[in-house]
């Protein structure tokens, strides 16, 4: 993956109380937890997240309950990796593990209970390593006895072997295990995101309780395998290719708690599912293509919940739910094509939760809910076409507590709408209707209402007594809903129990000082994106707002915060003031906020921070001041800030800082991470930094103007672990420049002007493991320079080395694993150069001046896994050259002058790059040893044909790139034998004369294709759509359109699993209406149209995409001078409703010549609404919300004065726009940088 997306949740975070938490003794970047009641030799928990490891550290302990090594770069787990450590729960998630040695877990035979190796690069099941775990002692954890494995998640497993009868049992341990069926204790397996086509009978243990095989290539429901697992309760098969649910019965009565069949290819249910031979509590059939439900289809299942969202349901038989009446409690029919409430619901007597949003319902009959009205608790009718609240149908729903009727056409609500049924209503969602006024006492009949959402209406008039009866209301949202410029103080007076108040994205300019005096229980206040310009001293009285925890005032026009503007708010934890117009922070602006943990002031215009601005903030953990105009920062601004147990993250990047001064603080400031990057600092601020010596672990001084590192520059930073000095102007480093940094592990000195390093430059850095010296001017280093370090990663690329510094490397021979010395001037290699670094696993020698390599040059580095010799004009006997590195997995020989594929006796090679050579043909003799090859890169060679015989010698190949070759003919025989191929690049084959439509028919799991159109081949001989129609597994399609018009070239290419479509082409000037015909069945799509000559988009060109549940649209790097909303929305009505979930994944318009004018203001509104409505930025994690705001404000256009303006900040009133101009596209020249996208995944660390 280009970027591994892992959401790693700490499942035992609630158990830390009463435990000791701190840095681990073996590596301070890891976190250890101990339990006072446990032996001193054992630990409760070890977590190393994002800590770079080439091998696991030496653990000094004997027993650990939980060990997590996440995103650390591990590739191989050796037999001795864990030493004598015994672990009960082991998680090695999101690394690069491709091999697990046979005896890796042998020391844990009677201890290991849970193993997780997900998100790695395993391509086969490591049964040899697992077989010793066969006779584990079971342990009761949280009242469940289990042994679990998720080691297969997100790997490339293609098959599950069946159980054999040849296993040998010695002393209770079963050897020669070759199937999971032989694991008698196994109760949970995760096989998600692999390449399984079947789950054979007898391939899994009979003890299994949970099986997850989602996102594989299963085409049939694995009925036979399930019958062999009588204990199975949870079965997850979503994201496969299953077309039918069996209507034959199981041999024995079966029972499941959950069956998940979402995102399959089920198009009809013709008979009773499983013939009534199974009971299922929860059945999930979302994201299929079911159009009708026949009678009694669920009879005998005894369903408790049924989910059928995002199908194509048009008709439901009145007898479909026969048999479910006494059981069904939840029914979800969201996003179908139903025109009314199905009559089948009259069979249901216990339905408590009913969701039918986003259908075509215009009317609710009075008796539609009659059969279950006395038990109904939650109802969603959102996103339909209702003109009023269906009060007659709801009259007997006296237990209803939740009603979502948002996104309809309701223009008025009255007190009588809630007669008889509103008494117990707790939640009422009316967002995005057509409400313009709220009359007096409109909610009189809903006295228990606790949550009310009125967002995305246009409330021109609110009677002062509208909320008079909502004395129990706890949450009120009216984002994008209020037109008044005054804070509605009088209207909100009755809401004494309000906890959550969100009035963001309105036009509020003034707030009277007594506005919040009645909100004694308020905890959350969001007034972002209004027009406020000042925060007065008494606006937030601490004596009243004693529970206030979260205040969000970002993106207003705030110029000034008066002294004590935020003072004595005892419970305040989060305060956001980003994107205002603050120029100066006055003294005591933030005062006596004892529980404040996060304060953000980014993207202001702050030039001055007064003394004692931050006073008595003892729990502050995050202070963000990046993207301001600060030139100097003094610690005199801080008094009694932070504490030693939870040091602060302090971000001052992207300012104009020249210096940091100490000033008088009177107490310690504890900072864990200090980011000073992207400033103008010319000297290390030694005096200032020493104040952080007791806490600072990460210091970022990258992208400044440093020219030297003086003696003892960091001497007081005893706890520093990471030091970033990249992209400065450093020429000289004093020999004791790093003196005192005993715990330092990572140094980045790349992109400086260093030409010489002192003899003992790094001598005392005993824990140094990662050193980046790339992009400097270094010609040589002394022998002693790395002495006493523990370097594992050494980056020396882009310097002036003429020889490998083998003498210096000898000092780190037992620890060095990664060596990058590419882009230098090395002409000669011999075997002695690597003699002293025998444990090297990664060696990059690319872009040097190598020619002749001796046969024995790699004799001493037999452990190499990755070798890059690219961009050297090599003349060598490759067969002998690689004889001594049989463990090699990845080899790059790009642009080395090869005429033929050399014979490579590398039986473990998985990746081979031969691009940019002169290879004309492929011979069997050259590839016969490459049986484990997974990736073969052959682009930019001289191949004129594909000899199909060679592929049989690469049975595991999954990625093939043959682009930019003079190939003339491709047929179905061209790829014969590549049954495991997943990615194929056949683009830029300019000489192609024939491409048969069945060429890909044998590639059953091909999921990613990069291709082009060939207009020179007559249509009757070749159609791209016909070719791609034979690839039902296709998920990612990249196509270059060679013609000037995109019409029907892609017709037939869009299978239901397609989730990524990229279209490019310098010649492309127009897209016709039929271009995307057939794409309607896709459930999730990222559509990228980039690098074209498109200047306009025809209105409605994307109309076929409007019903895709999750659409992301990227229109970057085109020629657009204007963008009308009708290019995105299919019609005028859709634009006026402007529901941003039409493009739920966001919009990218990077590098287009757009200009700021009235025709672009609709896009500014859209972006603001998208953040609030679709992303729901007010509820996401704070760090993610801020990153999203930063990204969206990178979308700029140029105004008439030449300034770049974020499009999200364009308002019609600021441009004096008339209504007639608001939907008109912009004009003229300009190049904005516009990037909007969603990314929610981040990796959690222990920060305790």
CB 429 within 8 A of CB 453: yes
Alpha carbon of 33 to those of 38, 45, 672, 928: distances in Å? Answer: 11, 5, 19, 51
Cα–Cα distance between 958 and 963 in angstroms, integer? 16
Cα–Cα distance between 1172 and 1214 in angstroms, integer? 21
- Which token pair is 270? 């013709």
Cα–Cα distance between 217 and 239 in angstroms, integer? 8
CB 978 within 8 A of CB 999: no
Nearest to 633 by CA among 662, 612, 669: 662
Is the pLDDT score of 23 beyond 70? Answer: yes
- Which token pair is 548? 């206030």
Cα–Cα distance between 594 and 257 in angstroms, integer? 47
pLDDT band at 1058 (very low <50, low <70, confident <90, very high): very high
For range 818-826, the mean pLDDT: 98
Cα–Cα distance between 385 and 785 in angstroms, integer? 74
pLDDT band at 1197 (very low <50, low <70, confident <90, very high): confident
Burial 939-961 (b: 16+ CB within 10 A, else e): bbbebeebebebbebbebbbbbb
User: What residue ranges in 1043-1193 does DSSP mark as E strands?
Assistant: 1045-1046, 1060-1065, 1070-1071, 1084-1092, 1110-1114, 1146-1148
Return the SS3 of 223: helix
Judging by DSSP bridges, how do beta strands 598-600 and 622-624 pair with one another?
parallel
Looking up tokens 């690839």 gives 1031
Q: Which of 564-568, 854-858, 913-917 has the highest mean pLDDT?
A: 913-917
pLDDT band at 1248 (very low <50, low <70, confident <90, very high): very low
- The DSSP output letter for 689 is H
Q: Where are the domains of the chain?
A: 1-139, 727-823
Is it true that 1-139 and 727-823 share their CATH fold? yes
For range 913-919, the mean pLDDT: 98
CA dihedral 73, 79, 80, 85 (to 10 degrees): 90
**Per-residue pLDDT tens over the stretch 954-1008:** 999 999 999 999 999 999 999 999 999 999 999 999 999 999 999 999 999 999 9
Cα–Cα distance between 488 and 462 in angstroms, integer? 9
pLDDT band at 12 (very low <50, low <70, confident <90, very high): very low
**Per-residue pLDDT tens over the stretch 365-417:** 999 999 999 999 999 999 999 999 999 999 999 999 999 999 999 999 999 99
Question: Residue 460's CB: how many other CB atoms inside 10 A?
Answer: 11
Burial class of residue 307 in the structure, from the number of CB atoms within 10 Å of its CB (0-12 exposed, 13-18 middle, 19+ buried): buried
For range 638-667, the mean pLDDT: 91
**Per-residue pLDDT tens over the stretch 442-455:** 999 999 999 999 99
Residue 145 has a pLDDT of 27
Nearest to 190 by CA among 142, 157, 226, 229: 157
Cα–Cα distance between 1076 and 1080 in angstroms, integer? 8
The phi and psi torsions of 76 (rounded to 5 degrees) equal -130, 135
Residue 13 has a pLDDT of 35
Residue 529 has a pLDDT of 95
pLDDT band at 171 (very low <50, low <70, confident <90, very high): very low
For range 1032-1036, the mean pLDDT: 95
For range 763-777, the mean pLDDT: 95
CA angle 1231, 1237, 1238 (to 5 degrees): 165
What CATH number matches the domain at 727-823, 3.60.10.10, 3.80.10.10, 2.130.10.10, 3.40.50.10860?
A: 3.80.10.10
Class of domain 1-139: alpha beta
Residue 276 has a pLDDT of 86
- Share above pLDDT 90 across residues of the chain, in percent, rounded to a whole number: 70
For range 530-558, the mean pLDDT: 95
pLDDT band at 1204 (very low <50, low <70, confident <90, very high): confident
The region of weakest confidence among 89-98, 295-304, 492-501, 991-1000 is: 89-98
**Per-residue pLDDT tens over the stretch 474-502:** 999 999 999 999 999 999 999 999 999 99
CB 74 within 8 A of CB 100: no
pLDDT band at 2 (very low <50, low <70, confident <90, very high): very low
Nearest to 372 by CA among 299, 321, 443, 301: 321
Report CA 929 to chain centroid distance, whole Å.
Answer: 38
CB 1104 within 8 A of CB 1132: no
> Which H or E run contains 1027?
helix 1024-1028
Question: Residue 170's CB: how many other CB atoms inside 10 A?
Answer: 7
Cα–Cα distance between 676 and 656 in angstroms, integer? 10
Task: Kindly tell me the sign of the dihedral angle through the C-alpha atoms of 155, 156, 160, 164.
Answer: negative
The region of weakest confidence among 306-315, 322-331, 1199-1208 is: 1199-1208
Return the SS3 of 719: coil
pLDDT band at 1237 (very low <50, low <70, confident <90, very high): very low
For range 682-692, the mean pLDDT: 93
CA angle 518, 524, 526 (to 5 degrees): 100
The mean pLDDT of the chain is 89
- Which token pair is 918? 């002169």
Question: Residue 277's CB: how many other CB atoms inside 10 A?
Answer: 17
- The DSSP output letter for 963 is -
Helices (H) and strands (E) in the chain, counts: 12, 75
Is the pLDDT score of 103 beyond 70? Answer: yes
**Per-residue pLDDT tens over the stretch 859-890:** 999 999 999 999 999 988 888 899 999 999 99
pLDDT band at 1244 (very low <50, low <70, confident <90, very high): very low
Rg from Cα positions in the chain: 33
CA angle 873, 877, 880 (to 5 degrees): 135
Cα–Cα distance between 713 and 710 in angstroms, integer? 5
Residue 936 or residue 1123, greater confidence: 936
Residue 975 has a pLDDT of 95
Residue 182 has a pLDDT of 72
Is the pLDDT score of 256 beyond 50? Answer: yes
Residue 1137 has a pLDDT of 60
**Per-residue pLDDT tens over the stretch 30-39:** 999 887 655 5
- Share above pLDDT 70 across residues of the chain, in percent, rounded to a whole number: 91
What residues contact 958, with CB distance under 8 A and at least 6 apart? 156, 934, 935, 980, 981, 982, 983
pLDDT band at 106 (very low <50, low <70, confident <90, very high): confident
Q: Which of 275-279, 794-798, 851-855 has the highest mean pLDDT?
A: 794-798
pLDDT band at 242 (very low <50, low <70, confident <90, very high): very high
- Which token pair is 178? 């070759």
- Which token pair is 804? 């490998």
pLDDT band at 1230 (very low <50, low <70, confident <90, very high): very low
Residue 138 has a pLDDT of 31
- The DSSP output letter for 162 is P
Question: Residue 676's CB: how many other CB atoms inside 10 A?
Answer: 24
Cα–Cα distance between 805 and 783 in angstroms, integer? 8
- Which token pair is 925? 């003799």
Cα–Cα distance between 924 and 948 in angstroms, integer? 10
For range 258-284, the mean pLDDT: 94
């Amino acid at each position: 993956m280009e970027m591994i997306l892992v959401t790693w949740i700490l499942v035992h975070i609630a158990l830390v109380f009463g435990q000791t938490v701190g840095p681990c003794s073996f590596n301070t970047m890891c976190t250890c937890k101990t339990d006072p009641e446990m032996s001193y030799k054992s630990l409760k928990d070890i977590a190393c997240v994002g800590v770079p490891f080439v091998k696991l550290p030496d653990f000094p302990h004997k027993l650990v309950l939980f060990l997590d090594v996440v995103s650390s770069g591990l590739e191989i787990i050796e037999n001795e990796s864990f030493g004598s450590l015994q672990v009960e729960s082991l998680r090695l998630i999101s690394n690069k593990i491709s091999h697990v040695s046979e005896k890796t877990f042998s020391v844990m035979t009677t201890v290991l209970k849970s193993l997780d190796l997900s998100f790695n690069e395993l391509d086969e099941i490591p049964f040899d390593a697992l077989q010793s775990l066969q006779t584990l002692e079971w342990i009761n954890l949280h009242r469940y006895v289990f042994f679990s494995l998720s080691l297969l998640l997100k790997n490339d497993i293609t098959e599950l072997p069946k159980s054999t009868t040849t296993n040998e049992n010695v002393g209770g341990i079963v050897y020669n295990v070759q199937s999971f069926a032989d694991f008698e204790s196994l109760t949970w397996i995760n096989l998600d995101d692999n390449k399984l086509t079947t789950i054979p009978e007898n391939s899994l243990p009979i003890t299994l309780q949970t099986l997850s095989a989602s996102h594989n290539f299963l085409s049939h429901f694995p009925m036979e395998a399930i019958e062999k697992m009588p204990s199975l309760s949870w079965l997850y098969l979503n994201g496969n290719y299953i077309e039918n649910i069996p209507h034959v019965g199981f041999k024995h009565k079966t029972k499941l708690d959950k069956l998940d069949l979402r995102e399959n290819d089920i198009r009809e249910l013709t008979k009773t599912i499983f013939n009534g031979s199974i009971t299922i509590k929860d059945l999930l059939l979302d994201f299929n293509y079911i159009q009708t439900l026949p009678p009694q289809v669920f009879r005998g299942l005894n369903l408790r919940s049924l989910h059928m969202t995002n199908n194509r349901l048009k008709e439901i038989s009145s007898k479909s739910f026969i048999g479910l009446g006494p059981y069904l409690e939840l029914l979800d029919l969201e996003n179908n094509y139903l025109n009314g409430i199905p009559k089948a619901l009259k069979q249901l007597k216990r339905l408590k939760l009913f969701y039918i949003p986003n259908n075509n319902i215009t009317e609710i009959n009075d008796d539609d809910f009659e059969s279950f009205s006395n038990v109904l608790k939650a109802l969603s009718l959102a996103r339909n076409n209702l003109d009023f609240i269906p009060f007659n149908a709801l009259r007997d729903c006296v237990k209803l507590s939740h009603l979502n009727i948002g996104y309809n056409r309701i223009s008025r609500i009255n007190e009588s709408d809630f007669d008889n049924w509103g008494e117990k209503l707790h939640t009422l969602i009316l967002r995005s209707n057509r409400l313009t006024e709220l009359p007096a006492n409109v909610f009189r009949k809903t006295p228990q209402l606790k949550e009310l959402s009125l967002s995305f209406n246009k409330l021109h008039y609110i009677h002062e007594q509208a909320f008079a009866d909502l004395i129990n209301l706890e949450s009120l949202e009216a984002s994008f809903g209020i037109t008044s410029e005054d804070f509605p103080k009088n209207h909100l007076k009755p809401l004494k129990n309000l906890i959550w108040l969100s009035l963001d994205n309105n036009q509020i300019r003034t707030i009277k000082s007594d506005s919040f005096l009645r909100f004694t229980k308020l905890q959350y206040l969001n007034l972002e994106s209004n027009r406020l310009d000042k925060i007065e001293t008494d606006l937030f009285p601490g004596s009243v707002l004693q529970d206030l925890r979260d205040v969000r005032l970002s993106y207003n026009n705030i110029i000034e915060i008066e002294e004590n503007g935020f003072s004595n708010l005892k419970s305040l934890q989060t305060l956001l003031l980003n994107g205002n117009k603050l120029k100066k922070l006055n003294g005591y602006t933030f005062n006596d906020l004892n529980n404040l943990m996060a304060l953000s002031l980014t993207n202001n215009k702050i030039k001055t921070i007064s003394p004692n601005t931050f006073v008595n903030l003892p729990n502050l953990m995050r202070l963000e001041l990046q993207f301001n105009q600060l030139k100097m920062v003094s610690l005199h601004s801080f008094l009694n800030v932070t504490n030693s147990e939870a040091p602060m993250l302090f971000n001052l990047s992207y300012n104009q800082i020249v210096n940091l001064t100490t000033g008088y603080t009177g107490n310690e400031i504890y900072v864990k991470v200090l980011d000073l990057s992207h400033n103008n600092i010319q000297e290390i601020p030694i005096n200032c930094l020493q104040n952080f010596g007791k806490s600072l672990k990460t210091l970022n001084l990258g992208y400044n103007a440093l020219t030297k590192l003086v003696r003892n520059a960091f001497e007081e930073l005893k706890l520093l672990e990471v030091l970033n000095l990249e992209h400065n102007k450093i020429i000289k480093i004093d020999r004791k420049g790093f003196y005192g940094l005993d715990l330092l592990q990572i140094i980045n000195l790349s992109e400086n002007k260093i030409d010489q390093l002192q003899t003992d430059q790094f001598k005392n850095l005993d824990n140094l493991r990662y050193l980046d010296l790339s992009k400097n001017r270094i010609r040589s280093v002394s022998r002693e320079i790395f002495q006493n370090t523990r370097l594992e990663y050494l980056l020396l690329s882009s310097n002036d080395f003429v020889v490998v510094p083998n003498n210096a490397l000898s000092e780190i021979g037992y620890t060095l694993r990664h060596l990058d010395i590419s882009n230098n001037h090395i002409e000669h290699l011999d075997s002695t150069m690597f003699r002293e670094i025998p444990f090297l696993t990664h060696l990059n020698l690319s872009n040097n001046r190598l020619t002749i390599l001796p046969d024995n040059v790699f004799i001493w580095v037999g452990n190499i896994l990755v070798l890059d010799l690219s961009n050297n004009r090599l003349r060598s006997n490759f067969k002998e050259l690689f004889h001594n590195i049989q463990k090699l997995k990845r080899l790059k020989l790009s642009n080395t002058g090869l005429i033929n594929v050399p014979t490579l006796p590398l039986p473990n090679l998985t990746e081979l790059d031969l691009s940019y050579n002169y290879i004309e043909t492929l011979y069997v003799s050259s590839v016969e040893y490459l049986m484990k090859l997974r990736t073969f890169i052959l682009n930019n060679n001289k191949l004129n044909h594909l000899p199909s015989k060679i592929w049989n010698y690469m049975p595991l190949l999954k990625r093939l790139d043959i682009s930019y070759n003079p190939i003339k003919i491709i047929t179905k025989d061209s790829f014969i034998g590549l049954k495991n191929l997943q990615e194929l690049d056949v683009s830029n084959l300019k000489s192609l004369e024939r491409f048969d439509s069945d060429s890909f028919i044998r590639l059953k799991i091909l999921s990613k294709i990069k291709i082009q159109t060939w207009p020179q081949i007559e249509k009757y001989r070749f159609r791209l759509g016909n070719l791609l129609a034979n690839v039902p597994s296709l998920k990612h399609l990249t196509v270059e359109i060679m013609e000037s018009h995109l019409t029907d070239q892609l017709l037939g290419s869009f299978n239901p699993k397609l989730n990524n479509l990229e279209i490019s082409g310098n010649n492309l000037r127009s897209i016709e209406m039929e271009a995307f015909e057939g794409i309607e069945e896709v459930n999730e799509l990222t559509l990228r149209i980039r690098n074209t000559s498109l200047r306009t988009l025809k209105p409605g060109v994307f109309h076929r995409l409007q019903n895709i549940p999750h659409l992301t649209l990227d229109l970057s790097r085109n020629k657009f001078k204007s963008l009308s909303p009708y290019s995105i929305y299919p019609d005028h009505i859709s634009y006026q409703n402007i529901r941003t979930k039409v493009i739920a994944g966001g919009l990218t318009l990077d590098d287009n010549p757009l200009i700021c004018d009235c025709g672009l203001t609709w896009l500014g509104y859209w972006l603001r609404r998208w953040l609030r409505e679709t992303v729901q930025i007010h509820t996401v994690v704070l760090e993610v919300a801020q990153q999203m705001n930063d990204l969206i404000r990178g979308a700029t256009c140029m105004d008439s004065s030449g300034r770049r303006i974020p499009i999200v900040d364009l308002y019609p009133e600021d441009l004096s726009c008339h209504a007639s101009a608001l939907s008109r596209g912009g004009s003229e020249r300009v190049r904005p940088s516009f990037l909007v996208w969603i990314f929610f995944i981040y990796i959690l660390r222990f920060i305790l």
